Chains A and B, each alone.
Chain A
Amino acid sequence: MKEKYNCYHCGDLCIDNIIADGNHFCCNGCKHVYLLLSENGLCNYYQLNNTPGIKAKGKFTGERFAYLDDESVISKIVLFKSSNHINVTFSLPQIHCVSCIYLLEKLHLIESGIIQSRVDFQQKSIFISFNPQLISLRKVVELLSFIGYEPSISMLENSGAADKSTNKKQLIQIGVAGFCFSNIMMLSFPEYFSKGFIEQPGLQQTFSWIIFVLSIPVFLYSASSIFSNAINGLTQKKINIDVPISLAIFITFSRSYFEIFTHTGSGYLDSGTGIIFFMLIGRWFQNKSYDVLSFDRKYQSYFPLGITIKNNGIEENIPISKLAIDDFILVRNNDLIPADSILMEGVANIDYSFVNGENTLQKKNIGDLLYAGGKQFGTSILLKTIKVPSQSYITELWNNSIFNKNKETSESFIHPWSKYFTVVLLSIAFLATIYWQFTDSSKVLLVLTSVLIIACPCSLLLSATFTFGNMMRVIGKHHLFLKNATVIESLAKITHVVFDKTGTITTQEKPDIKYNGIPLSEIENDLIKLTASNSSHVLSRSLYHYLPLSPNNISTSIVEYSEEAGKGILAKTSDSVLRIGNSEFAVADLLNHVFKSAAVHVEINNNYKGYFDISHHYRDGLNKMVAQLNKKYVLHILSGDNDAEKQALENIFGNNTTIKFFVSPQGKLDYVKTLQQNGANVLMIGDGLNDAGALMQANVGIAVSENRANFSPASDAIIDGHALKMLPLFLKYARMGKVNISIGFAVSIIYNIIGISLAIQGKILPVIAAILMPISSITIVLIAFLTSIWSEKLLKISFSKS
């Protein structure tokens, strides 16, 4: 019996005996990374965490990052550049543990050209400064890729810096408002306790003037965003919630200033600044979203930044933006085709799953048209472009106007409320004015202003911002990440749910594998597993994980091994020859059988044994999810794939579901549009570039991602593949959100009634306003918090019951 070892670096099971310093490794790639680290004294990497490494993907072709030598590319990526100093920030989605931070911040020990590296764990990014005379940008990226952290480089996604500066401005606004509010509150206490009369001459004046000075930055700086929102709303002839709030703030401050200047009182500046403080906190809370995830991706983010062109036999790396029609381009194994082009040289095996959701590789001959977005498997191919990247078939989608306008967010139901609120408030103020005009005209102004001061539309706003903000966090805890809190409202209104098939309701993680043919002996089984373990092809990896590890020692070892990319593997041991691969490769009498799913054929010693049928596995819990959704929503499936699995899908989804196959990306977009024109609110769930149009068009688009670090198309939300089965619960939770907010609204209305009824009697005093304001704000925040937790609990109970 052989002992089983897990790779010291990445934790995978070891098949071969690869040992260094007494540690076992699953492959040579992992071993090399280990050796590099141990050479440079970085073995603490392995002490901080067990098997922290990222499985080495083997050697990447040396030219992969060649475009990083191009000056124009470098200047777009780097933050700062001088003759002996370059600063650059990369996004490294692989960062996952303390060891990563340790290793990445010690890069200067591996390469002396690197001056300093700083990791931001939450942003999953690294800041590197290096000396370009000692090490090139390309070398830095290659080093990162070698140790497993391949940066995702895109010139478009540098908006992070702008986000940070607005975030900072918000924080400072809150800080200023909080500081002024608390000091004003403190300076107002003496007056409240002394019932408005302070003996010491001049002291009251001093207090008033300090309060006045402290309120100015709140009014001019902290509240500026509220005012500008209100003005924006008014210029679009809409009354948004900021309009009544701005009105209230304006009146509170102007009346207070009037009182201070005329020495008639000390005003309501404590409540006024307090309101602004609480509201800014609410906004900050609602806008705090998931920085790491990128929800707005254009097609440029999917394509490589640089490409190798080969004109007149000379290879040259150029940025993709310079690619022109009739250029000859070189596309290597695993590279994405950047533009529609014609195959000139080589054997093309194209994986279009990204573009149209089809599973199987397509073999293309010289002269065939290849569409942008396909991925080449196998040897390098030479193509001649016939269109520029922005005009290609798949990218045409982005020229659709849907990508250029911001999604019409269906009007939030808070806004009608704020309209009613403003109307009711103004009419109450008007009636009160008329009443006091006839009874005691000296009090008219007092009553009018107190009504507007005490009525607090901000508590309506607070209940919405805090409830949605909390709910977004609760949903995020269960691996559905929303772009912003307003998505919850849109989710609550959904009537139709449209699914993509491949990658959405099926998963690539655990394919269903069936063997057809002559039964395999244990030795043959071992032989196939051993052979498959040597290849990094997707099907080989699936096969490797599927085949059981036999209890006996694998006695044989491979003497000769060759992999013909896109076709199969030839492996020789001391006593047998094994060919596994596609039907052409493993010479098979296939009797014209058409394979709709991917198949791996096996031939041992020139005898055809059979094939492994590898098809996608439907996600766990799919049946239950569909049953729950069917009760309330109309379901649709749009697949770009062939109809091989029609029967299986019908069994799961039942008769009420429309199932369409061979749908083009544009077709998906149009289908969603048609549903919407018939009055439906559509939720689209998809994963690939081919769903991108439909995801944008739908009222809510959710992108499914197995690995959050992977690319996902532009969407309103990103869901973890495993969490998809909880979709019915998420939708129910979103619907409960409206109830939660209504509870908050009801409470804030009660406060308003109490406040306004005091105000119209002319009885409101600064001290009452000062007490009522924080109490109402804090209770509303508490209610928002409790209701969102409470409804999550309810759902958890119903989930565990079902």
Chain B
Amino acid sequence: MSSLFIILGVSIIISISFLLAFIWSVINGQYDDHYTPSVRILFEDDDNKLNNEQISK
């Protein structure tokens, strides 16, 4: 049963690391804008290429 003490310690450390991750993400500004990043990721990076294709059509 004494293994419980170890498990207890480990579980607390793991959960504290999650808390720290949350605090970091808040300070880092990840909760400031919930919408724009979801759109941004869908934009193509090679705009010029795409545009040229349309012109040549």
Instruction: State the Cβ distance, A518 to closest chain B Cβ, in Å.
Output: 52
Q: Contact between A206 and B8 (Cβ–Cβ < 8 Å)?
A: yes
A43, B54: Cβ atoms closer than 8 Å:
yes
A119 vs B51: C-alpha distance when bound (angstroms):
23
Which residue from A118, A122, A175, A206 sits with its C-beta under 8 Å from B19? Answer: A175
CB-CB under 8 A from A164, the residues of chain B are 32
Pick the most buried of B8, B34, B47, B52: most chain A CB atoms within 10 A of its CB.
Answer: B47
Whole-angstrom distance from the CB of A285 to the nearest CB of chain B?
15
* A109 CB within 8 Å of chain B: yes
Chain A residue contacts of B26, Cβ below 8 A: 168, 171-172, 175
* Alpha-carbon distance between A172 and B54 when the two chains are bound, in angstroms: 49
Cross-chain contact A200 with B31 (CB below 8 angstroms): no
Distance in angstroms between the alpha carbons of A168 and B28 in the assembled complex: 10
CB pair A120 B32 closer than 8 Å: yes
Q: Which residues of B sit under 8 angstroms from A98, Cβ to Cβ?
A: 39
Q: Which residues of A contact B32 (CB under 8 A)?
A: 120, 164
CB-based contact B23/A109 at 8 Å: no
Given A203-B4, A210-B12, answer yes or no on A179-B19 (Cβ-Cβ < 8 Å): yes
| Distance of A168 Cα from B32 Cα, bound (Å) | 9
Q: Which B residues from 7 to 24 make CB contacts under 8 A with A? A: 8, 12, 15-16, 18-19, 22-23
Instruction: Find out whether the CB atom of A101 lies under 8 angstroms from the CB atom of B51.
Output: no
Question: Please, how many angstroms separate the alpha-carbon atoms of A41 and B34 in the complex?
Answer: 28
Nearest neighbor of B28 in chain A, beta-carbon distance: A168
**Which B residues touch A41, using CB under 8 A?**
47-48, 51-52
Q: Does B33 lie within 8 Å of A122, measured CB to CB?
A: yes
Closest chain B residue, CB of each to CB of A183: B15
Instruction: Check if A649 is an interface residue, CB within 8 A of chain B.
Output: no
Contact with B along A597-621 (1 / 0, CB 8 A): 0000000000000000000000000
- For the complex, give the distance between the alpha carbons of A42 and B32 in Å: 28
Pick from B16, B47, B52: contact of A42, CB below 8 A: B47
Report, as a range, how many residues of chain A touch the other chain.
20 to 34
Q: Mark A103-125, 1 if CB is under 8 A from B, else 0.
A: 00110010000000011111100
A783 within 8 A of B: no
B4 to chain A: closest CB distance in Å?
A: 7
Q: Give the contacts of B33-57 with A (CB-CB under 8 A).
A: 33-36, 39-40, 43-44, 47-48, 50-52, 54
Establish whether residues B8 and A179, one from each chain, have CB atoms under 8 Å apart when the complex forms. Answer: no
B35 touches A179 (CB 8 A): no
| Closest chain B residue to A45, Cβ basis | B47
Q: Do the beta carbons of B5 and A206 come within 8 Å of each other? A: yes
A562 to B54, CA, bound (A): 40
Check if B4 sits within 8 Å of A200, measured CB to CB.
Answer: yes
Closest to A203 in B: B4
| Given known A-B contacts A43-B51, A210-B8, A172 and B23 have beta carbons under 8 A apart | yes
Which single member of A44, A109, A200 contacts B1 (CB below 8 Å)? Answer: A200
Chain A's nearest CB lies how many Å from the CB of B54? 7
For B16, list chain A residues within 8 Å (CB): 179
Could you tell me the distance between the alpha carbons of A120 and B50 in the complex, rounded to whole angstroms?
A: 26
Chain B residues with CB below 8 A from A43, complex form: 51, 54
A146-172 contact mask (Cβ, 8 Å, vs B): 1 or 0: 000000000000000000100010011
Given A41-B51, A106-B47, A175-B22, 12 more pairs with CB closer than 8 A: A44-B50, A101-B36, A105-B40, A118-B36, A164-B32, A168-B26, A168-B27, A172-B23, A176-B19, A176-B23, A179-B15, A200-B4
